[in-house]
Amino acid sequence: MPAIECVGLCNGRGFHSIRDADFMMNAPSDSSTASMDTPPRGDISGFKRFLKDDLIAGGLVFLIALPLCLGISLASGFPAIAGVFTAIVGSILTTFLSNSELTIKGPAAGMIVIVLGAVNSFGYTAGVDPVADMQAYKMALAVGVVAGLVQIAFGLLRAGILGDFFPTAAVHGMLAAIGVIIMVKQLPIVVGQSASGEPLEILQELPHLLMNANPEIALIGGVSLLILFGLAFLKSRTSDGFINKIPGPLVVLLVAIPMGMAMNLSSDHTYTLMGKEFTVGESDLVTVPFNLFGAITFPDFGVFLNSETLPAALGWVLMFALIGSLESLLSAKAVDMLDPHKRKTNLDRDLWAVGVGNMAASLIGGLPMISEIVRSKANIDNQAKTRFANMWHGVFLLGFVALLPGLIHNIPRAALAAMLVFTGFRLASPSEFRSVYRVGREQLIIFATTLVAVLATDLLIGIAIGIATKFAIHMINGVPLRSLFVPTLQFDETSETEVNVHAGDSAVFSNWIGFRRQVVEKSLKQGKNCTVDFSDVHLIDHSVMEKLHELEGEFAREGIELNVVGMDHHQPFSRHPMAARKRSFVSH
């Protein structure tokens, strides 16, 4: 079999996009990077040498990050400034702790559901009782601190490899469900309404809420959605570099802020339209403190001392740590695939750095952070060279909120909600379903099952059901129970320059960690070429096909080869190059 074809994560489309529908830049070939001036890793000389490039990239990422940080905070039940705190801490602190050169650290839409669930469980009332809301906020901050400690432990215990355990379809099903939840919860805000309850309950109320929209607020929200979806459409239809670099969130702010001023949203008042009276005012604008230091809020660790709140608190620690770590690991790996200089992140170190960042951010009132994909992609597009671009984006955020808080106060909440609706749509867009189906019908079953399970239960139970579905499909396809978790590998190390590996039974997502560890120890770490023979493997699933391609890239970066052979008599489940394949019983 020839070297595995570069599809999927290399172009970042559809099923392999992780979270970002704009994640569509082809990774440069090895030949294109050979002549490039490679920035140093972990060397302060890169700060001076690439100051201009990183400063410009950081500044442009800041323009995207500011409205997203504010919107994600409000959607999570936190004060708007909390997301900015997180981005500032994440950018400045993790720059010196992680070796990930191009990822941007900060709050992410994928964590909204978890954080909002936490504050709700601690008595959040969405503004009805400000005292109760502040208490719920402080309790959630305590959860964030402890979850950060857990993430530090994950990193120190070298748990970064666990990102390879979760099957791709189940992860994307979980993210698509998060997208649906975000859309359902933010659409009422886009039209000037409010709604509470479970996503399916809000979905039932949505027609009534839309019919009773506040016209002025709905106009701002509608125009914002039109800008975001219109720009995305133009970018998908053109190769024009200028259009592709226009940040949608910035355009929304440039339009929505003057609209809010024209409607005098800074003053509470009523207006009448078609015989109906509507109220607008400061509650429709973002509220931020004019004294940044006065906004610092400390956690309430009493949540872990109270027998009534302790079980919920521990459950949310698990959710924060597991889901946050998984999202961060997947994002960091995806960004590595796009790095023009082929630099590889130490995932254990990055996870440890994110944990430290989460502890620090939560101690002053910030949201959980991850390695975030949308801003990281913008960072790459804007020619960032080193990790200091991440630092500069945080410096710009700090300067802006410290010097111009009044300008932030003029941002209509409907505009921020529109940005989140757009983000949610990208997570659960129809193209995501089509891309999954092209990989194989069994992938669509896993994807859809996980999506529905998350909506009907919660994130952890939902993704567990998705993984169980994949196990069931494997067993139906004849995978022996004994090989679900333990790979069958035989090594021939008689050659001084090459290792031959004969695989048996199955190669599936749940035994990949052991499979990879043995191949890397026997070959990659020894500087030897490797040939893996899959002739006697009954089933190779989609996750392993993708992981093999990633591993091939790791070998290539070290100047050695990974050759995969023995798939001539395996029947792929679809025409997709990364589709799962099952051995056909043919006579020789």
**36 has pLDDT over 90:** no
Provide mean pLDDT across the span 336-358: 89
**4 has pLDDT over 90:** no
Q: Which residue, 285, 342, 307, 351, is CA-closest to 149?
A: 351
Element (H, E) at 524: none
Tokens read off for 456:
């009907």
Cβ atoms 446, 167 nearer than 8 A: yes
The per-residue pLDDT for 569 is 86
Provide mean pLDDT across the span 227-245: 87
Tokens read off for 46:
């890169």
Q: Which residue, 427, 106, 409, is CA-closest to 260?
A: 409
Q: How many CB atoms lie within 10 A of CB 528?
A: 17
**389 has pLDDT over 60:** yes
What pairing do the DSSP bridges indicate for beta strands 570-572 and 488-492? Answer: unpaired
The per-residue pLDDT for 35 is 38
Give me the DSSP letters along 235-264: HHH---HHHHT--HHHHHHHHHHHHHHHTT
**432 has pLDDT over 60:** yes
**307 has pLDDT over 90:** yes
The per-residue pLDDT for 47 is 82
Burial of 568: CB neighbours in 10 Å, binned 0-12, 13-18, 19+: exposed
The per-residue pLDDT for 24 is 30
Give me the DSSP letters along 269-315: EEEEETTEEEEESGGGB----SSTGGG-----GGGGT-TTTHHHHHH
**62 has pLDDT over 70:** yes
Provide mean pLDDT across the span 213-238: 94
**457 has pLDDT over 90:** no
**290 has pLDDT over 90:** no
The per-residue pLDDT for 49 is 86
Cβ atoms 303, 122 nearer than 8 A: yes
The per-residue pLDDT for 476 is 93
Tokens read off for 225:
């959605």
* DSSP three-state, residue 111: helix
**291 has pLDDT over 70:** yes
The per-residue pLDDT for 331 is 87
The per-residue pLDDT for 187 is 95
Q: Which residue, 502, 563, 490, is CA-closest to 528?
A: 563
Cβ atoms 335, 375 nearer than 8 A: no
The per-residue pLDDT for 373 is 84
Element (H, E) at 92: helix 80-94
Instruction: Indicate the pLDDT class of residue 587, thresholds 50, 70 and 90.
Output: very low
pLDDT tens for each residue of 495-513 = 889 999 999 999 999 999 9
Cβ atoms 322, 463 nearer than 8 A: no
Residue-level length of the chain = 588
Instruction: Indicate the pLDDT class of residue 13, thresholds 50, 70 and 90.
Output: very low
**321 has pLDDT over 90:** yes
Provide mean pLDDT across the span 520-525: 93
The per-residue pLDDT for 195 is 83
**460 has pLDDT over 60:** yes
Average pLDDT, the chain: 88
**45 has pLDDT over 80:** no
**38 has pLDDT over 70:** no
Q: Which domains does the chain have, with CATH numbers?
A: 45-126+139-427 (no CATH), 481-583 (3.30.750.24)
**459 has pLDDT over 80:** yes
Q: Which single residue is written with the structure tokens 């521990």?
A: 314
Instruction: Indicate the pLDDT class of residue 43, thresholds 50, 70 and 90.
Output: low
